[in-house]
Amino acid sequence: MKVYETKQIRNVVLLGHGGSGKTTVAEAMSFVAGNISKMGSISSGNTISDYDKEEIKRGFSISTSLVPVEYEGESGSLKINLLDTPGYFDFVGEVEEAVSAADAAIIVVNCKAGIEVGTVKAWEICEEYGLPRIFFVTNMDDDKASYRELLLKLETRFGRKVAPFHLPIRENEKFVGFVNVVKMKGRRFTHLSDYVECEIPDYVEANLKIAREALMEAVAETSEEYMERYLSGEGFSDEEISGALKDNICNGDIVPVMMGSGIDAQGFKALMMAIEKYFPSPDFKECVGVDVSNGEHFTAKYNKDVSLSARVFKTIVDPFIGKYSLVKVCTGTLKPDSAIYNVGKETEEKSGKIYVLRGKSAIEVPELVAGDIGAMAKLSVTTTGDTIALKSAPILYHGPKISSPYTCMRYKIVNKGEEDKLSSGLSKLMEEDLTLKHVNDTANRQTLIYGIGDQQLEVVVSKLLDRYKVKIELSRPKVAFKETIRQKVEAAGRYKKQSGGHGQFGDVKMSFEPSGDLEKPYVFEETVFGGSVPKNYFPAVEKGIAECCVKGPLAAYPVVGVKAVLLDGSYHPVDSSEMAFKMAATIAFKDGFMKAAPVLLEPIYTVSVIVPDKFTGDVMGDLNKRRGRVLGMESVNHGKQLIKADVPMLEMFGYNTELRSMTGGMGVFSYEFARYEQTPGDIQKKEVEARASKLDADAE
C-alpha cells in the first residue's frame, strides 16, 4: 500500500444499530473500489472486518476493525480509513475508541427496520464529538422497504438538518437506480455500483421538488449574498452548491441521506464520491493537547512536516495475529525503527515496523503521515490512550473517553492450577477492551468481573476458553453485608482449661455498645482498676475482639461500629496467658454481641438513570420495587430525564438488562457507593438462615 498525503485521507467511522449492515457496507466499498476480488458475507463468516472467531460464531461485530479503502476519485487517489464498529450496546467501548480517531461518520440505517435505538445513539455520539455525518440507507433491494416513510421519520426525529441527496428509482418493485437531488439527474445501475444517466421518472417529481427546495434553502443560509440571490429567485451554479454543501456538511448543519443495497453492492460508488467531496480530510480539524515541557496548551494542524506526535486509540491483542497498537498520527511522520517516547509513562520505545491493518491482515508501509491511521506491533509499554512523540517535543493528548462498566458478575476458575493462564488471558482481554474491569474482593472472598452488559461478559468467558484454554463460570456476586449492634450490654467471658502442668485461665468482664462510626470495625478501651487484669494482657483482649470482627456472630459478615470496653476481670499468676485472655474476650464478644440487638447492614448505592421522558414513570416504578428511594429528577439534553435514587446493592443485580428492556435500549445508568443502612427484618432473617452453615463451620 502506498503512502497517502493528509489531504488524500478520510477517517470515517461506521455507526448504527446492530444488524443494520455496517460490516456489509465496509465489504461492499472495498469490493467496488477494487480492493478485494469477491465480497464476503456475514452468514459465510468471511468478511474483512468480522474475522474474530466469536464474531463469526455469533454473526455480529464485537470489536472495531480498520478497513482502509483505496479509491480512485475525481481528484485522484483517496484512502478512506473505515472504522467498522459493533452495533450492540455492550461493546460501546469499541465505538468510543473508533469515534475518537474519526473525522466523520456514516450512520447506517436499514430501510425496512427504520430508525432504531442504535440509530439514535449514533446520532447522539456524533453530536457529542461534533462529527460530520451521512445517513446511508441499506436494504433498498427489499421492495417492502419504504424510503419515503423512513425519510419522514428521519426528518421528524433529527430535524431540518436531514437532507435527502438521493431519491429511489424503482421498476417492477425493484431498486434500479436513484435520482441525484444535488445534480438533478437520474442514475440507473448497470453493473454493481456503476450507473448511467437516465430520465427522472414522473412519480419522483413531486418529492424531488420538495427535496431540492430544502437543499437550496440550506445553500442560501450559508451567506447573506446567497440568501439575497435565493430570495430574488436566482439560482446557484454547481460549484457554488457543492462548496456550500461541503461547508454545511463539515459543520454538521446538513446531514445528507444516501442509499444503496449492500448485498447487490449498489450505491457505493456514489457514497465514496460523496465521502471524497463532502467529508473533511484530517487537517480540517486541529489536534489539541498539552506541551509537557512547559505545561502549556498545545494546538496544531495535522501537518507532516513538524515533530512527530500520535495517539494510541486502540489495542488489539490476538494470540494468532499478535499485539498491535492502533495509532492516529497527529503531527509529523511515523517511520519504522524510530525512537519514540511514551509521554505519559516517560518511557522510550522503538517503533519497529509500521503497518496498515485491513481486518486481520497487516500490510507493511514505509511511513504514516499526519492524519493517517495505522499500527505498530509489539510495543511493550504503550497501551490504549497513550501518546507517543519525540522526547525533544513531548506532546500529551487525551485518550478516548470510555464508558464505565457497572454490570458485575462473580467468577470462579473451573480447573485448579490454571490461575496463571487465567490471569494472563484476562489481562490481555482488558488491554483490548477498556470497559472490562477485574476486582479481587478479599472481604467477601470472591473475584469479580465488570462489563457494560451480560452479553459482553458471556463473550469474555468464551474468549478465555477459545483463545487461552481456561474455563471460568459466572455467578451472582455476593453482597458485602456487615454486622453491628444497636444496644449497650455487658458480658463476661471466662476461659479455663486444665490438662496437666500449667493450665489456661483468662477472665474478663466487658461492655459492648454502638460506636457511631461505621467506618471502623471496633473501638477498644479499658477502665480496669486495681490490676484485676494486668496491663500486659490488654493487647490480647483487643486481639480477641479484632479477630471476632472479621466474621461476626450473626451471619459471619465483617463487624463494624462496635465499642468494646474492658471493665474488669481476674487472672491466675501461673495459668493466665495472652492466649487465655484472647479466648476469654472472644467468648465475651460473641455472647454480648448477640444480646445487643445485632443487625445486618446492607450497602446502599446512589443510582443515576438517564432515560427519555416517556420512560420516567416505568423506571421510577421499577426503582421503587427494588426498595429504592427516588431522590429527584432533572431534565438533561435531548428530551431526557436524569433520575437519582438510593437503592440497596442487593436489588441491583440484573438491572442493566431490565433497564434496556423497559426503555428499548435507550436507558443508561451509573452508580456509586453511598453508605450502609440497616437491612429490613425479612431480608436479614433470610440471610442469617442462609449463612448458618458458615457459623457452624467456624464453631467446629
Q: Comparing C-alpha atoms, which of 595, 593, 514, 519 is closest to residue 552?
A: 593
Q: Alpha helices, DSSP H only, in 339-492?
A: 419-432, 454-468
Q: What is the layout of strands, in order, in the sheet containing 133-138?
A: 65-73, 76-84, 9-16, 104-110, 133-138, 255-259, 162-164
- What per-residue confidence (pLDDT) applies to 239? 86
User: Is the separation of the CB atoms in 38 and 47 below 8 Å?
Assistant: no
Under DSSP, the state recorded for 573 is T
Q: How confident is the model at residue 237 (pLDDT cuts 50, 70, 90)?
A: confident
Indicate if 112 and 244 belong to the same structural domain.
yes
- What per-residue confidence (pLDDT) applies to 695? 67
Q: Which residues pair with 30 in a beta bridge?
A: none
* DSSP secondary structure string for all residues of 596-623: S-EEEEEEEEEEEEEEEGGGHHHHHHHH
Using CA atoms, how far apart are residues 270 and 276, in angstroms rounded to an integer? 10
Average pLDDT, the chain: 92
- Residue 104 is inside which H or E element, if any? strand 104-110
Which one of 267, 283, 299 terminates a domain?
283
Using CA atoms, how far apart are residues 114 and 484, in angstroms rounded to an integer? 56
pLDDT at 501 over 80: no
| Mean pLDDT for the stretch of residues 581-592 | 95
Q: How confident is the model at residue 697 (pLDDT cuts 50, 70, 90)?
A: low
Domain assignment present for 357? yes
Print burial letters for 241-267: b (CB count within 10 Å at least 16), e (below 16). Answer: bbebbbebbbeebbbbbbbbbbbbbbb
pLDDT at 83 over 80: yes
Indicate if 527 and 580 belong to the same structural domain.
yes
CATH code of the domain in which 441 resides? 3.30.70.870
Indicate if 198 and 108 belong to the same structural domain.
yes
Domain assignment present for 340? yes
What are the phi and psi torsion angles at 534 (to 5°)?
A: -60, 150
What are the phi and psi torsion angles at 637 (to 5°)?
A: -65, 160
Q: What is the layout of strands, in order, in the sheet containing 286-291?
A: 296-301, 286-291, 395-397
Residues constituting the chain: 700
Which one of 429, 451, 475 terminates a domain?
475
- Residue 547 is inside which H or E element, if any? helix 538-550
User: Is the separation of the CB atoms in 431 and 546 below 8 Å?
Assistant: no
At residue 325, what is the residue type?
S
- What per-residue confidence (pLDDT) applies to 321? 72
Distances (CA, A) of 371 to 301, 331, 332, 383, 399: 9, 8, 9, 20, 16
Using CA atoms, how far apart are residues 519 and 440, in angstroms rounded to an integer? 20
Indicate if 14 and 86 belong to the same structural domain.
yes
Q: Which residues pair with 670 in a beta bridge?
A: 608
Q: What range does the domain containing 652 cover?
A: 601-684
Domain assignment present for 591? yes
Domain assignment present for 164? yes
Say how many domains are in the chain.
5
Domain assignment present for 365? yes
- What per-residue confidence (pLDDT) applies to 457? 96
Cα dihedral 58→59→63→66 (10° resolution): 150
Q: How confident is the model at residue 696 (pLDDT cuts 50, 70, 90)?
A: low
For the chain, what percent of residues have pLDDT higher than 90? 77
pLDDT at 465 over 60: yes
Using CA atoms, how far apart are residues 460 and 422, in angstroms rounded to an integer? 11
- What per-residue confidence (pLDDT) applies to 234? 86
Close Cβ partners of 228 (under 8 Å, ≥ 6 residues apart):
none
pLDDT at 396 over 50: yes
Least-confidence region, from 16-30, 152-166, 368-382, 489-503? 489-503
Tell me whether residue 94 is exposed, middle or buried, using C-beta atoms within 10 angstroms of its C-beta: 0 to 12, 13 to 18, 19 or more: buried
- Residue 271 is inside which H or E element, if any? helix 268-278
Indicate if 277 and 338 belong to the same structural domain.
no
- Residue 472 is inside which H or E element, if any? strand 472-475
Close Cβ partners of 352 (under 8 Å, ≥ 6 residues apart):
336, 337, 376, 377, 378, 379
Using CA atoms, how far apart are residues 215 and 250, in angstroms rounded to an integer? 15
Indicate if 359 and 419 belong to the same structural domain.
no
Number of H helices, E strands in the chain: 17, 37
User: Is the separation of the CB atoms in 607 and 646 below 8 Å?
Assistant: yes
Residue owning grid cell 439527474 = 185
Q: How confident is the model at residue 224 (pLDDT cuts 50, 70, 90)?
A: confident
Using CA atoms, how far apart are residues 259 and 181, in angstroms rounded to an integer? 12
Indicate if 470 and 361 belong to the same structural domain.
no
Domain assignment present for 1? no
- What per-residue confidence (pLDDT) applies to 160? 83
What are the phi and psi torsion angles at 315 (to 5°)?
A: -125, 135
Strands 387-389 and 309-318: antiparallel
- What per-residue confidence (pLDDT) applies to 500? 63
| Mean pLDDT for the stretch of residues 407-428 | 93
Indicate if 471 and 495 belong to the same structural domain.
no
Indicate if 141 and 261 belong to the same structural domain.
yes
Cα dihedral 325→329→335→341 (10° resolution): -70
CATH code of the domain in which 547 resides? 3.30.230.10
Print burial letters for 69-91: b (CB count within 10 Å at least 16), e (below 16). Answer: bbbebeeeebbbbbbbbbbbbbb
CATH code of the domain in which 655 resides? 3.30.70.240
- What per-residue confidence (pLDDT) applies to 233? 85
- What per-residue confidence (pLDDT) applies to 571? 87
Query: 695 or 269: which carries more pLDDT confidence?
Result: 269
Domain assignment present for 642? yes
Q: Is the dihedral of CA 326, 330, 336, 342 positive or negative?
A: negative
What are the phi and psi torsion angles at 82 (to 5°)?
A: -85, 130
User: Is the separation of the CB atoms in 332 and 370 below 8 Å?
Assistant: yes
User: Is the separation of the CB atoms in 33 and 272 below 8 Å?
Assistant: yes
pLDDT digits (tens, 9 = 90+) for 666-687: 999 999 999 999 999 999 999 9
Q: Comparing C-alpha atoms, which of 319, 588, 329 is closest to residue 470?
A: 319
Q: How confident is the model at residue 353 (pLDDT cuts 50, 70, 90)?
A: very high
pLDDT at 554 over 90: yes
- What per-residue confidence (pLDDT) applies to 309? 95
Using CA atoms, how far apart are residues 564 and 548, in angstroms rounded to an integer? 12
Domain assignment present for 693? no
Which one of 283, 308, 324 terminates a domain?
283
Indicate if 490 and 545 belong to the same structural domain.
yes
Indicate if 504 and 415 belong to the same structural domain.
no
- What per-residue confidence (pLDDT) applies to 74? 86
> What is the rounded radius of gyration, in angstroms, for the C-alpha atoms of the chain?
33
Using CA atoms, how far apart are residues 628 and 677, in angstroms rounded to an integer? 12
Q: How confident is the model at residue 222 (pLDDT cuts 50, 70, 90)?
A: confident
CATH code of the domain in which 132 resides? 3.40.50.300
Indicate if 563 and 605 belong to the same structural domain.
no
Quote the Cα angle for 422-472-379, to 5°.
Answer: 30
Using CA atoms, how far apart are residues 603 and 169, in angstroms rounded to an integer? 61
CATH code of the domain in which 383 resides? 2.40.30.10
- What per-residue confidence (pLDDT) applies to 700? 42
